[in-house]
Amino acid sequence: MVTELGASDRMRDHWWWRPGWSVGTRMYTWHVTFGGQAALHQITERYQAALGALPGVDLIPLQWLHLTMQGVGFTDQVPDAEVRKITAAAEEHLTAHPPITFTVGAPIVDPEAILFRVEPADQLRRVRDSVRAAITDVWGAHRVPDAPEWTPHVSLAYSNGEGSAAPYLEAVHGVAADPVTVTVNAVQLIRLDRDTKVYKWDTVASVPLGG
């Protein structure tokens, strides 16, 4: 979970195994996914084309573009009945939120990823707060994963090694692309895996904003 973003002059491997993860592990987590988001796909392709000839990065296939929002727990630790309760609570909380519109522009080079900042972020933060409130309804505040602080972003490539960030900075700075606007009408509860150095998932529930 990224809590702060900033330009980097060095890269590091994104794919180290975080606590609890190994091949075969799956996690329930809330994301925004971007199927059918043509404008976002097009700007992503522009920057990925500039990065594609460079070693040391894994480009994210368009079908797996996502905005990481809020973890729930590993699938072997969260009973199906509790997944259903959290989803139902999220449906209630998210009726209060209208669809969200945000803008992405030139990406930044973070130590583990090349990513788009999301601006403005306030509405997304309020939606995430409601998702956290739904988890609290079922488990109590003491069991809500991840820190309250959060910086929304959309990654377009992950670093798979260590080295200078200069080639990636030069690549993205060489692209002329206007910012694009993205509208989010729902958030997704997904079952996530990262076995093959790409985040893949199946969708458990898609909860609309505004009911």
Asked if the model's pLDDT at residue 1 lies above 60, the reply is no
**What pLDDT does residue 9 have?**
87
Asked if the model's pLDDT at residue 7 lies above 90, the reply is no
Could you report the per-residue pLDDT of 11-22, keeping only the tens digit for each? 999 999 999 999
Asked if the model's pLDDT at residue 6 lies above 70, the reply is no
**What pLDDT does residue 4 have?**
47
Domains and CATH numbers, the chain: 10-16+26-208 (3.90.1140.10)
Cβ-count burial 66-92 (b if 16+ within 10 Å, e if not): bbbbbbbbebeeeeeebbebbbebbee
Could you report the per-residue pLDDT of 87-119, keeping only the tens digit for each? 999 999 999 999 999 999 999 999 999 999 999
Asked if the model's pLDDT at residue 142 lies above 90, the reply is yes
Q: Do residues 192 and 200 make contact, with C-beta atoms less than 8 angstroms apart? A: yes
Q: What is the pTM of this model?
A: 0.94
